[in-house]
Chain A
Amino acid sequence: MKVLVPVKRVIDYNVKARVKADQTGVDLANVKMSMNPFDEIAVEEAVRLKDGKDHHAAGTVTEIVVVSIGVQQAQETIRTALAMGADRGILIQSDADLEPLAVAKLLKAVVEEEKPDLVLMGKQSIDGDNNAVGQMLAALLDWPQATFASKIQIGDGKATVTREIDGGLQTIASQLPAVVTVDLRLNTPRYASLPNIMKAKKKEIAMKTVADYGVDIAPRLSVLKVTAPPVRSAGIKVADAAELVSKLKTAGAI
């Protein structure tokens, strides 16, 4: 079966985002960008499915296609996924900052073209923090969804997924084709080896534009401003536990 893995180029997770002085957004000039950490987990799981690693049966997945929507440099993100073991890539180039609804519509068009049996993707991107595209894609395709996966088993035409929920874990079985979004605990993504990075350079990336898909990407939300959160006033260091307890009592915290 074929798996489609959408990946996003985002600010590196170790970088503290800084708001621009004119309040139009976050300053991304000269900031280190990387693959969204949840997407790395999705790529890793797809590769494990293909390799028959962990509890996965070998041959479950025969082809992994990665897709990214964004600026030209998102090619690097696709290359990283190819170096991890994906087979080929698709870049839908757009300089606009697309909303989850537009992204979901574009991904739907890609799904209709590629006809994957499974879409495996991150539960949220660490820039927009929306946690929406996977669920929206499932709705637009009228496919079942299994979100926040910490374990995935594919078999009998189903994805059996253990999900992280408030209060513990839940296991559900969704009929394929389905959209599965992955959580942190699913796996530990591999580092691409140098030979695999070299090999990835030979793999194909199809270059597309938003216009190729005839999808309406008009924004529904306008960002009026982006501001820095209130700064906490500086605290104090106390000498010992007794002093701490007395301060907390004075502050009414205990």
Chain B
Amino acid sequence: MAVLVIADHDGVNLRDTTNKTVTAAAKLGEVDILVVGQGAKAVADAAAAIAGVRKVLLAESAELAKTLAEAVEAVVVPLAAGYDAVLAPATMDGKNYMPRIAARLDVAPISDIIEVVSADTFVRPIYAGNALETVQSSDGKKVITVRPTAFDAAGTGGSAAIETIAGADAARTDFIGEELVKSDRPELGAAKIIVSGGRAMGSAEEFHAIMDPLADKLGAAVGASRAAVDAGYAPNDYQVGQTGKVVAPGLYIAIGISGAIQHLAGMKDSKVIVAINKDADAPIFQVADYGIVGDYKTVVPELMTALG
């Protein structure tokens, strides 16, 4: 079987989510990687270095620079004829264009898989992660998004050839602009430690005053509950949960987060979970490996001291 993986990148750097998707794809067959973008040669080079990759296809155009769904579709659909499966990580980008591609190919997309059982059978979470569904696809071609936290990253050391293919444009949607959150901390999806804050923080100033020093001390990324994001304490991009980011770091510290179903959906596969909450009955304690019942205002400073 031949499998096409659509690379996830920021225009310059290949994201780790791509390597994780390659691990899932390699269970299905021989892997080629497609890089869409503009000025993305460095990304294609990085993709070519992933171990086990057969070749890298590089498609560049202005429309592809922002991975608009219509433009990505126009590149992938003709290419799909030569592949048995097309995979992308279940990032906001992948979720945006993959179902569009599936509909064009008249196949049922399989979203956010966490396990490859066989070439046509996959496991995916449903109902906010409260159930796992094993599905078998009867479609000749599979269109799949992969939950990156469920797979290890493929290593490097490969030296695949890079082939340039035509880009595409899609004039019916125009890119107007973007506002990206600037951060020197690790990316939420790739962080080994995440400290996450909830509504208890009360204000954006308090959120940052508590969370930032702790994150810096631990070299951690900062996350937030939906309540904290809705209240404006943290940017949307920080949201961990069913509708935000799904993370699975080595250590997740939930501070002032009650642990609603929707939040747990985004972090309950973390290796070690710590909860700091003054409500001893908060649902977060049911999934926490270590819990401290207490006010974060006293516990977090003590934690800073204890960390030395």
A residues near B (Cβ < 8 Å) are: 11, 13-14, 16-19, 26, 99-101, 104, 123-124, 126-140, 144-148, 150, 160, 164-175, 183-185, 219-229, 232, 235-242, 244-245, 247-248, 251, 253-254
Contacts and interface: CB of A to CB of B under 8 A. Distances in A.
A105 to B, nearest CB: 9
A170 B138 contact: no
Interface string B33-77: 000000000000000000000000000000000101110010000
A102 to B, nearest CB: 9
Contacts of B250: 253
Given A100-B99, A172-B173, A244-B274, A135 B69 contact: yes
Contacts of B133: 223, 225-226
Contacts of A222: 135-136, 138
Contacts of A100: 99, 108-109
A232 B268 contact: yes
7 contacts: A101-B102, A145-B69, A166-B92, A173-B174, A222-B135, A226-B133, A235-B290
B108 to A, nearest CB: 4
Interface of B: 10, 66, 68-70, 73, 91-93, 95-104, 106-112, 121, 125-139, 170, 172-181, 189, 193, 218, 226, 229-230, 235-237, 242-243, 245, 250-251, 261-262, 268, 271-274, 280, 285, 287-293, 299, 302-303, 305-307
A147 B181 contact: no
A172 B174 contact: yes
Which 4 pairs of residues, A with B, have the shortest CB-CB distance? A132-B99, A17-B127, A241-B302, A136-B103
Nearest to A240: B302
Dominant SS among interface residues on chain B: mixed
B219 to A, nearest CB: 10
Contacts of B68: 172
Contacts of B285: 235, 237
A220 B108 contact: yes
Contacts of B128: 17, 126, 129
Contacts of B134: 223-227
Contact of A26 (B126, B175, B288): B126
A148 B245 CA distance: 13
A235 B111 contact: no
A135 B100 CA distance: 5
A167 B189 CA distance: 11
Nearest to B108: A220
A124 B262 CA distance: 13
